Amino acid sequence: MKKIEQRLTENGVRPTAMRLLIYKYLAEKEVAISLTDIEAAFAKAERTTLYRTLRTFEEKKIVHQIDDGTGIQKYALCEPGCDCNLEQDLHLHFHCNNCDETVCLTEHKIPHINLPEGFVAEDANLVLKGICDKCSGQ
């Protein structure tokens, strides 16, 4: 728990009780988490607080936001030392059509694409959809 406190402080986020709990929750789950997930897990907490906590975490590069095509924003902890904006840290995400969970495949970077003249890429999002390892029974 001291570890978490330190991580937050390092990134310029005051380690309140709520924030520590949310970080811990994210760390325990190996999948991307939505605001609604967190809301369900912390029934006592206020939605807005959770919302703003996630946003703060994102601004301070503690989590990255994931758009998996479901229309629901998901979040997952960043790798230590990750700068989500850099091309090198852009990895792909996998969304399972069966269990509806989304996971980071941090070791799979987004391939570089040669765009037509005039197009300048600053960011990229690659989502694969299908059946995840848990659901494929393998």
Q: Confirm whether residue 104 is marked as ligand binding.
A: no
Q: Confirm whether residue 135 is marked as ligand binding.
A: yes
Among 22, 62, 92, 104, binds Mn ion (CB under 5 A): 104
| Backbone φ, ψ for residue 95 (5° rounding) | -110, 125
Task: Write b or e for each residue in 93-130: b if 16 or more Cβ atoms lie within 10 A of its Cβ, otherwise e.
Answer: bbbbeeeebbbbeeeeebeeeeeeeeeeeeeeeeeeee
Contact mark string toward DNA, 77..116, x via CB under 7 A: ----------------------------------------
How far from each other are the two terminal CA atoms of the chain, in whole angstroms? Answer: 34
Per CB under 7 A, which of residues 55..84 are in contact with DNA? 55-56, 71-73
Number of residues that bind Mn ion (CB under 5 A): 2
**Residue 106 CB, nearest approach to Mn ion (Å):** 6
Q: Smallest Cα–Cα separation from 75: which of 109, 43, 50, 98?
A: 50
At a CB cut-off of 8 Å and minimum separation 6, what does 5 contact? 15, 20
Per CB under 8 A, which of residues 71..100 are in contact with a second copy? 71, 92, 94, 97
**Residue 107 CB, nearest approach to a second copy (Å):** 8
CA-CA distance, 98 to 113, in Å (whole number)? 30
The verdict on 48 binding DNA (CB under 7 A) reads: yes
Which residues sit at the interface with DNA, rule CB under 7 A?
13-14, 16-19, 34-36, 45-49, 51-53, 55-56, 71-73
Contacts with Mn ion by CB under 5 A lie at 76, 104
